[in-house]
Structure 1
Amino acid sequence: MRAALRAPGFGGLVLVWTIINLADSMLFLTLAIWVKDLTGSDGAAGATLAALAVPALFAPLIGHLVDRFPRRRLVSIAALAAAASVLVLTTTDELWVIYAVTMVYAAVGYLLSAAQAGLVRDLLPDEHLAPANGLLTTVDQGLRLITPMAGAGLYVTVGMDAVIATTAALFVVAAVGMTAVRVTETAPATEREPFLREVTAGFRHLFGTPVLGGMTVALAVAIGVTGLTNTTNFAAIEVGLGSGPAMLAVLASVQGAGAVVGGLTAGPLVARWDERRTATVGLVLLGLGIAPTMGTSLALIVVGLLGCGIGVSLTVVSFVTLRQRRTPPTLQGRAAAASNMAFNVPQLSAALAATGLILVVDYRVLIGVTVAVILVAAAGIGLLRTRQPEDGAAPAPAGTVGG
């Protein structure tokens, strides 16, 4: 991790990413709280959080944009666009405007994530990717432990306009800071193909690359099924623990703490075991960590959620590192965006299905299914055989841009 931070430009990128995550973490939960206060409706508040996932449907277009323009400049422009969009909320509290701004703000988040993947790949050699991704994951998870509460506190004590102004200011600072990051970017590919082939190149690369394709499928299944826990968690707290919904915030913090630990340890583990084995261990920890929520022991649930947090970080860092290593520089944005869509859409679908299933199926059965599917996915990754060269990125499959 220290070696990665010593690389020219990477420290600046981490600082910018930290500021962006401060802005993101402060706003996303506060928006739902604000809508709840405005409407008194749990459904309207939940729809705000669902709106954050809608831009995943447009991830291929976002990735295409990231691969067609200089990424450092694109990050600055996107951060300014995020600032401008959230400032609209100071002029109105119309529900449709809040939803529209939420989707724009979320779309910018997907763009920033895809651009970050390409910038990290340009800044660092292969051996520094895993610890770098571990550090960035630690930043993400660490800020999500404390910043949402800070945003909610600012909202309660000062008002929503203060939250919006602070968020916008942070995005502006990030935009300016990005202009100072030193990076020699890979030039966008000059070859052009039919639009549809260019937009879908990330998917074709992900699913057409040995090991990477298998891991993408397995993680799409595993992450997708965790969408069921968005509903079962409430039942586990109410029925299993006999507590109120407020307990969810406490347990989420426990999982977040585990995720920080996982982010800090992921780099050394990938270096020792490789991405495939580390991802396998991560999914096993995730699956076994969810299992105690079928019971009534708070102590076991806390231990399990710590394991879940560690497992999620190990899995994410492993996959992102493998994807970066096996993807040509000119395809990084589309590959990152494609993986975001491959994981987020199944998860959202499962979350929506769970709201109906919970009415007719015991929540413990749904948790059991979740655990079983995750462990099967872990076994699938464990059985993959590495067939790619040891060093460097894999060649792009036929037909992709920049191969």
Structure 2
Amino acid sequence: MLFSLVGDAAAALGLALDAAHSGTSWNVTEVYVAGLVPPILFAPLIGVLADRWRARRLWIVSLLAQAVALGAATVLPALHFRIAMLAVAGVFGVAASAVGFKLLPDLAGTEHLSRANSAVSVANSASGLLGPALGATAHAIWGSTALLGFDTSSFLVIAGAAVIAVPASSAQATVKSHPFRGASAGFRALRESSVIGPMLPLLIGLMLATSIEGVAGVFYIRDVVGNDTWYGYVLACWALGSIPGAVLAGKGSLKGRQGQLVVIGAGMISAGLLVAGLVPNGFVIAAAFIFAGLGNGAHNVAVRNSVHSTVPETFHGQAWAAYSAMSRASVLIGYVLGTPNAALTSRTLVIASGALPLALTLGVSFLLWRRSAGQALQVAVGEPEAGQEKRGSLSA
């Protein structure tokens, strides 16, 4: 998996660098939009397929389809064609992610699910650390064709591993109905989750805020540290912190506290971004990013564990595809809002990217505390627990 994630990050960077060298700034925008918009549009339908078709078969088909799309991009060097193939691969990438999420309890076993989600998050963090560095180096030596070829081979390797490792009986289709009905079921399942539902505004706000910083920070942090090399080192601090955060969140002792980890992680991310904006010092920003990354790693694992534990198994694929669509939509909007302008400087936007989710974290924490206190009071005065609303509980 890490092999493929690093390949994806490196190939996307290679195309972005090709677009930047093409002389048209909109080509860079095209690369990022192609990686976001098609998956957003198709994610709900893909989630339905993940729950209503044989998961193993759909996973293998999705992996092979990504290999075909990227292989075509490797062979034909036209920039716009390559960007189009990146979009196709992104759509099938959502399918592979949704099915992989659905298959994980079968493959890892429910007793090891938290650790498995931790390992997935560690791989994602490591790819964010290794992919850009390796991609930039390889692009300078061999160009984007080699990067696309590497990414193609990674999906072929994973597809082969899936054929061998995933039993044919694993995660059979769980719903027998027309595959394109109920595309909104994934969003509904997230809203009805006892943990994720009450925190959806916080999760969306957090994804939006980090995307705003992702654009504004390019200008602000580079201005603070003085050059591109140090900017890259500061960015790497986030991924560096997220790896131990993901490992710690996978500990068995935290199994019943996933909801709390979602909120704590969100608070750490928000605080880190706020400090980074308030203190224009490279070393302070690096330390703040390590702290925020630590919270980000724990937050991501806790979200995955919470969806697995509070959403019915029959909706796992749809719920995760819906979450992926919300994530990409938030990123797309954040990229637009995070562009500095005459009214809002890059530093102001970075400060806002920390202040917004911090306010949401405090607000959601207060509301959930009030609900939990109300439930505790009902139990104390002798009202029956059966049938009580559990949406306010922070335990997953």
For normalisation by structure 1, the TM-score amounts to 0.84
Deviation track 1:86-109 (CA, whole Å, cap 9, x = no partner) reads: 122234333321221111121122
**What count of residue pairs does the alignment treat as equivalent?**
367
Look up the match of 2:134.
150
Q: Does 1:265 align with 2:253?
A: no
SS of residue paired to 1:180: helix
Instruction: State the alpha-carbon separation in 1 of the partners of residues 252 and 184 from structure 2.
Output: 32
Instruction: State the alpha-carbon separation in 1 of the partners of residues 83 and 365 from structure 2.
Output: 41
Instruction: State the alpha-carbon separation in 2 of the partners of residues 45 and 190 from structure 1.
Output: 41
The residue type paired with residue 170 of structure 2 is E
The residue type paired with residue 67 of structure 2 is A
How far does residue 84 in structure 1 lie from its aligned partner after superposition? 1.1
Point out where structure 2 has 5 or more consecutive residues left out of the alignment: 376-396
The residue type paired with residue 78 of structure 1 is S
Contact 1:263 1:310 in 2 (8 A): yes
Contact 1:280 1:382 in 2 (8 A): yes
How far does residue 137 in structure 1 lie from its aligned partner after superposition? 0.7
Q: Does 1:312 align with 2:302?
A: no
Counterpart among 313, 329, 347 of residue 364 in structure 1: 347
Instruction: State the alpha-carbon separation in 2 of the partners of residues 263 and 194 from structure 1.
Output: 34
Counterpart among 87, 90, 98 of residue 106 in structure 1: 90
For normalisation by structure 2, the TM-score amounts to 0.86
Deviation track 1:26-57 (CA, whole Å, cap 9, x = no partner) reads: 312111112223x1234312321232111123
Look up the match of 1:3.
none
Look up the match of 2:193.
209
Which structure 2 residues correspond to residues 366-385 of structure 1 after superposition, within 5 A?
Answer: 366-383=349-366, 384=368
Look up the match of 1:164.
148
Look up the match of 1:274.
257
Deviation track 1:240-295 (CA, whole Å, cap 9, x = no partner) reads: x1513443322221111111111111112871661111111111110111123222
Report the CA distance shift for 1:165/1:145 in structure 2 as closer, same or farther (over 3 A).
Answer: same
The residue type paired with residue 372 of structure 1 is A
Instruction: State the alpha-carbon separation in 1 of the partners of residues 176 and 56 from structure 2.
Output: 21
Instruction: State the alpha-carbon separation in 2 of the partners of residues 19 and 269 from structure 1.
Output: 27
Look up the match of 1:5.
none
Instruction: State the alpha-carbon separation in 1 of the partners of residues 151 and 280 from structure 2.
Output: 39
Q: Does 1:96 align with 2:68?
A: no
How far does residue 193 in structure 1 lie from its aligned partner after superposition? 6.4
Report the CA distance shift for 1:163/1:193 in structure 2 as closer, same or farther (over 3 A).
Answer: closer
Report the CA distance shift for 1:190/1:275 in structure 2 as closer, same or farther (over 3 A).
Answer: closer
Deviation track 1:133-169 (CA, whole Å, cap 9, x = no partner) reads: 1111111111221233223322222233322222211
User: Could you say what the CA RMSD is over the residues aligned between the two structures, in angstroms?
Assistant: 2.3
Look up the match of 2:174.
189
Calculate percent identity across the aligned residue pairs: 23
Instruction: State the alpha-carbon separation in 1 of the partners of residues 229 and 41 from structure 2.
Output: 31
Point out where structure 1 has 5 or more consecutive residues left out of the alignment: 1-16, 388-403
How far does residue 125 in structure 1 lie from its aligned partner after superposition? 4.6
